[in-house]
Amino acid sequence: MTTTATVPAPAPVAAGPRKALLAGFAPLVLDAGAPIAAYYLLRAAGMGTLGALAVSSVLPAGRIVWGWVRDRRINALAGLILAVSVVGLLLSTVTGDARLMLAKDSGVSSTIGLVVLVSALRGRPLMSSVLGPWLTRGRADRDAARERLSAGSDRFRRAERRFSVLWGAALLAECVVRVVGAYTVPVDTMVWLGAVIVSVTITLTFIVSGPLAVVPMVRMIEEETRKGV
What are the boundaries of each domain within the chain?
Answer: 17-228
Give the model confidence (pLDDT) of 13-66 as tens digits: 444 445 555 555 555 555 556 666 776 787 778 777 767 677 766 666 666 666
Phi/psi class of residue 26: alpha, beta or left (left: φ > 0; alpha: ψ in -120 to 50)?
A: alpha
Q: What number is the average pLDDT over the span 64-80?
A: 61
d(CA 147, CA 144) in angstroms, rounded, equals: 5
Confidence of residue 9 (pLDDT cuts 50, 70, 90): very low
Distances in whole angstroms, Cα of residue 30 to Cα of each of 35, 62, 164: 8, 12, 24
Confidence of residue 156 (pLDDT cuts 50, 70, 90): very high
At 44 the pLDDT is: 76
Confidence of residue 76 (pLDDT cuts 50, 70, 90): low
Is residue 11 pLDDT above 50, yes or no?
A: no
Chain mean pLDDT for the chain: 75
Task: Give burial (CB, 10 Å; 0-12/13-18/19+) of 32.
Answer: buried
d(CA 6, CA 9) in angstroms, rounded, equals: 8
At 154 the pLDDT is: 92
Q: Which of 16-20, 51-55, 97-101, 146-150 is the most confident on average?
A: 146-150
d(CA 57, CA 2) in angstroms, rounded, equals: 5
